[in-house]
Amino acid sequence: MPSNKAGIIPRLRPRSAFPTLPVAPLNERPMSTAIRPSACPGLLRIVQALDGGICRIKLNGGSISADQAEAVANAAERFASGVIEATNRANLQIRGIGREEAPLIESLLAAGLGPRSAAGDDVRNLMLSPSAGIDRQMLFDTRPLAEQILDSLQSHPRFHALSAKFAVQLDGGEGLAMLEHHHDLWLSAVEHNGECLLAFGLAGCPTDAPISAVRLEHGHALVIAVLELFLELARPEQTRMRYLLAEQSVVGIVAQLAERVPLVPVTRVPRASSVLPVGAYPQREPGRVYVGAVPPLGRLDAVMLRGAAKLARERGDGSLRFTPWQSLLLPNIHEDAAAQVIHNLESLGLRCSADDALTHLIACTGSAGCGKGLADTKGDALQLAALLQRHGQILDVHLSGCPRSCAAAHVAPVTLLAVNPGHYDLYFRDAAQPGFGTLHARNLTIEAVAALLDARSRSPLDA
């Protein structure tokens, strides 16, 4: 049965605080800063695909300044095909890079978008809630703690041995938080006996029951303890927490953590997942809103990104935040300006309405850019969105070109798994089933998928 990959995400300090890294040939870099082999793209490691090279830019907490966004747009336009993708880890990536890898990397480093060292790029995998620090429901502002964690991940050479996929999630109880992406370590704020604690779990997500908790002042120490204990216990081939837990008991690991960090037993009711953030939402500060917009199927071009950056500078606080829903937020917009900002974003080609079927579809690169893709998932998703819109159906659908599920780090309610060009197997999410869920039908065309989903939604058995 196909399996669904876990997700992750990083980013947060003002990028001007990071020194610019020289881009030297690999054989001229010191071993302590050399880029290790990996199939995952990074800022300093361009990975080849059918449509050219891919450069992944990790964003602290998903945040990027307007100036940096313009630098990304310029780099994509000058040195690549112009395609910019918002990822499900709240990062950005540039596709279609040709031979001018070095000038592209140098331009991004000059904009302050790089890591502290080459070796630190892979481990900047910390995902925050997109509304960190401004959410009306937050229990505390996670950004200072995130700053500490990211600093430790990059500064301690031992942590550079972690897999490029090893990931941490931190949420402060925000109303807008991605709770379905699996992480090696997750921390989630919870109120307990009148105190704010950080509940945590291993190899799961915040919809799971926590295994224990710590007080806020011990949050950083807990992360360090978990990472150090993982590196002490895991064999080289056990690159993720779930592989370690296949041999080590959670109870045993918690007992060892308790020897290093004061733990607080806690129980809580699992939180419900957030909905896609599109449109205007009130912030903690009265009179201010953040505006959410969705690039169609997670893709922007240079004009879109420059336009959003201009709006952020003129109407907001000069920053943009990318989300695990492959969308973006403009924070700190005056509520009186929200309607105009939404109009301007839509004029750029971004989608700002939850009633738009396309905002609810996810699709990987597909056969147009990936050698493993069995269908043109992006093109098929556009066709499916038009059919669903015509039928008045707004459904969360994930189109995957192969079983790796690169576009979605969680299981969608409906998954279409490509079997050949224009044809898909249809799955419905089922908590009792692994992978994508229950296989409902095989080898469907997009037209057949739309008709089946429409009929299912109208059936009284599914009402």
pLDDT band at 248 (very low <50, low <70, confident <90, very high): very high
Task: Output the CA angle 439-441-447, nearest 5 degrees.
Answer: 135
* Residue spans per domain, the chain: 279-341, 359-462
Q: Report the pLDDT averaged over residues 408-424.
A: 96
Q: Report the pLDDT averaged over residues 241-250.
A: 97
Q: Report the pLDDT averaged over residues 410-436.
A: 95
Domain 279-341 sits in CATH at 3.30.70.3340
pLDDT tens digits along 9-55: 233 333 333 333 333 333 333 323 456 667 789 999 999 999 999 99
pLDDT of 35:
61
* 257 φ, ψ (degrees, to nearest 5): -65, -35
The Cα 128–Cα 61 span in angstroms is 5
The Cα 321–Cα 61 span in angstroms is 8
Residue labelled with tokens 């290790």: 36
The Cα 120–Cα 123 span in angstroms is 6
* 406 φ, ψ (degrees, to nearest 5): -70, -30
The Cα 206–Cα 220 span in angstroms is 18
Amino acid sitting at position 150 = L
Task: Output the CA angle 124-128-129, nearest 5 degrees.
Answer: 160
Distances (CA, A) of 282 to 277, 279, 304: 12, 10, 24
pLDDT tens digits along 388-409: 999 999 999 999 999 999 999 8
pLDDT tens digits along 258-311: 999 999 999 876 677 778 899 999 999 999 999 999 999 999 999 999 999 999
**Between these two residues, 237 and 462, which has the higher pLDDT value?**
237
pLDDT of 268:
73
Q: Whole-prediction pTM value?
A: 0.90
pLDDT of 118:
87
Residues 6+ apart with CB under 8 A from 6: 165, 167, 181, 182, 183, 184, 240, 242, 409
Please say if the pLDDT value at position 130 is more than 60: yes
Percent of the chain with pLDDT over 90: 85
* 428 φ, ψ (degrees, to nearest 5): -115, 135
361-363 and 397-400 as β-strands: parallel, antiparallel, unpaired? parallel
Please say if the pLDDT value at position 121 is more than 50: yes
pLDDT of 267:
83
The Cα 104–Cα 122 span in angstroms is 18
Worst-scoring range by mean pLDDT, 34-43, 59-68, 148-157, 369-378?
34-43
Give the chain's mean pLDDT: 91
Superfamily of segment(s) 359-462: Sulfite Reductase Hemoprotein, domain 1 (3.30.413.10)
Worst-scoring range by mean pLDDT, 74-78, 206-210, 264-268?
264-268
pLDDT tens digits along 315-331: 999 999 999 999 999 99
Please say if the pLDDT value at position 108 is more than 70: yes
